[in-house]
């Protein structure tokens, strides 16, 4: 029987929380179940879901900053203060943005201050 990716991941995390000493055994059996259910082709979704759920259980966040150039330390400090010092901050440089910044928290767009977005809003106004 197939389940959603997040259900597979949630079940593994629940089991590992109950039996941390058996983590390797549980992980091996979990991968066998993924193989049996034909889910190994969704490995990128599984990895994203695993990271997201694990961070959520720890009260942390994954923050992705997309910018044309390296963000300044002030912005990083503000984000760390807002979302927690231990949260993971990933920076993706996209020169084609030209100007502005996009901030994605836990996979959901939070701020889109890119020049392209601002122009599209003006054109559709």
Residue 117 pLDDT grade (very low, low, confident, very high; cuts 50, 70, 90) = confident
Residue 44 pLDDT grade (very low, low, confident, very high; cuts 50, 70, 90) = very high
* pTM of the predicted protein model: 0.67
Percent of all residues in the chain with a pLDDT value above 70, rounded to a whole number: 99
Average pLDDT, the chain: 87
Mean pLDDT of 65-94: 91
- Closest Cα to residue 27, out of 52, 9, 51, 53? 9
- Closest Cα to residue 92, out of 67, 109, 63, 112? 67
* C-alpha dihedral, 7 to 18 to 51 to 80, nearest 10°: 130
Domain segments of the chain as ranges? 5-57, 62-123
98, 115 Cβ separation under 8 angstroms: yes
123 or 88: which leads in pLDDT: 88
33, 1 Cβ separation under 8 angstroms: no
Q: Measured between alpha carbons, how far is 60 from 29 in angstroms, rounded to an integer?
A: 28
């Amino acid at each position: 029987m197939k389940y959603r990716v997040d259900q597979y991941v949630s079940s593994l995390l629940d089991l590992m929380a109950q039996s941390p000493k058996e983590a390797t055994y549980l992980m091996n059996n979990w991968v066998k179940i993924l193989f049996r259910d034909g889910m190994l082709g969704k490995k990128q979704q599984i990895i994203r879901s695993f990271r997201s759920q694990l961070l959520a259980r720890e009260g942390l966040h994954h923050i992705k900053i997309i910018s044309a150039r390296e963000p300044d330390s002030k912005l990083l400090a503000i984000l760390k203060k807002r979302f927690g010092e231990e949260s993971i901050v990933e920076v993706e440089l996209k020169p084609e943005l030209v100007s502005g910044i996009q901030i994605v928290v836990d996979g959901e767009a939070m701020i889109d201050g890119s020049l392209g977005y601002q122009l599209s809003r003006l054109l559709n106004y």
